[in-house]
Chains A and B, each alone.
Chain A
């Protein structure tokens, strides 16, 4: 059965990678970019770059207009409505750090921050370090056998001391939707702030932050077919009122004196310094492109590819999947074969997959693994990509076993 991608030609890098004999299956790390984004970047730089929110001149006004249009597009993409604001950051990591520093003052010693056992380091370390700074307790929600956050355990661990819950929507290692509605309801019942790490989740399907009801939702542009060096954070108005500026500098200030200053409210108060303007404009173009696709067709394509991937892995001997992946990716190890050896031989054959701990060391340690191979899919992948991967996998295993 062939599964072609009708969108492959929209991404010029795919043909270039093919000419280099590379099969790109590391999309959970970063994605290739649509032509629409390349055009937007070229247009911006070819027609007059300018800084935003500062100058009175025409190029500045144009840049600011395009920049703010992108902010609206992100808000629409997440269906933020008028319940909150979009703040641009330098990535999901910097958005989570903004929260961990900007909310520091709401915590008192002994308060609890709840995360899960599957968090990416970006949604673990900022909270872990905040816990150290403020003498807080970091509570880790355990997973069930399928790799989902254990709700039964969560009911006992989320309680009156919980001040904040920060969880991933979709694990970058296990590829499973996490039970966010139930978890967020538990947190809200105890008046805790809620943070959703949407770095992986935002790439698959459309998500509605109003329906989700979280206080903050963060993602990175580069995983959503957008430019890198850019992240976005949705913050609900009431939650944003508790957030204090973290980084200080140009354009986030209302009034500055030598010895004191007053700062702007969200979003500009949290965007100190010149933002990644071209990337923001580029993300807007990417979102326009994505909004023009038939979302049901994209989801069906991704589901068919994922099914193809799982069936192919299951058909081979000695492959152990991590968790029970539902979409987007699959991480696995092979009995008796070192993951580093397998990665080495896949690389030799031009298969771009990820090997290692996937920035989730504690999770891998809980599986008693030093690493795993991860195959991650995007809307431009097709069954031929997976066939090339399987062929390379078979060749590698034949050599290694």
Chain B
């Protein structure tokens, strides 16, 4: 399975980061580039619970391909979510079922962000994505 272009770019940049500051700056940049979620989508039904920050996730199949959008009021989680969407947007339903998302963050050097999931909620976002895609 070939990686989406955004995912290739993410791998390229994150694998080169050496320090936590650099990683944090990059995450914030990715978060800032995440397209804004429409206000009508920022509703309780789309909220991901289990995050310290507010996170909304919506997803729909368009012509057989998943298109997710998301937002958060916290910048670093927004960056993490942007990296998640970079990996999954455009995948077919079958491809999305196959993708190993924890491994994706591992490849980016961000696996620790998953283990500290209770505070940043990334695991809850992954869980919601699995439910949406099911």
Contact = CB atoms under 8 A, between A and B. Distances in A.
A344 B77 CA distance: 9
Interface in A329-387: 338-341, 343-345, 347-349, 355-356, 370-371
B76 A341 contact: yes
A395 B19 CA distance: 13
B24 A338 contact: no
Contacts of B120: 340, 343-344
A356 B119 contact: yes
Which interface class (under 10, 10 to 19, 20 to 34, 35 or more) fits B?
10 to 19
Contacts of A182: none
Most buried by A among B28, B52, B77, B116: B52
Interface string B87-128: 000000000000000000000000000001001110000000
Contacts of A339: 52
A348 B25 CA distance: 13
B24 A340 contact: no
Interface in A299-344: 338-341, 343-344
Interface string B67-94: 0000001111100000000000000000
Given A345-B24, A348-B24, A399-B24, A340 B52 contact: yes
Interface in B47-80: 51-54, 73-77
A348 B120 CA distance: 12
A400 interface: yes
A347 B24 contact: no
B21 A395 contact: yes
Best-buried of A349, A395, A399 by chain B (most CB within 10 Å): A399
B32 to A, nearest CB: 13
A340 B25 CA distance: 15
Q: Among the interface residues A344, A347, A355, A399, which one has the most CB atoms of the partner chain B within 10 A? A: A344
B25 to A, nearest CB: 7
16 contacts: A338-B74, A340-B53, A340-B76, A341-B74, A343-B52, A343-B120, A344-B77, A344-B119, A345-B76, A348-B20, A348-B24, A349-B20, A355-B119, A370-B54, A399-B25, A399-B28
Interface of B: 20-21, 23-25, 28, 51-54, 73-77, 116, 119-121
Task: Please provide the 9 A-B residue pairs with the shortest distance between their CB atoms, ordered closest to farther.
Answer: A340-B74, A340-B53, A338-B74, A348-B20, A340-B52, A344-B76, A341-B74, A341-B76, A341-B75
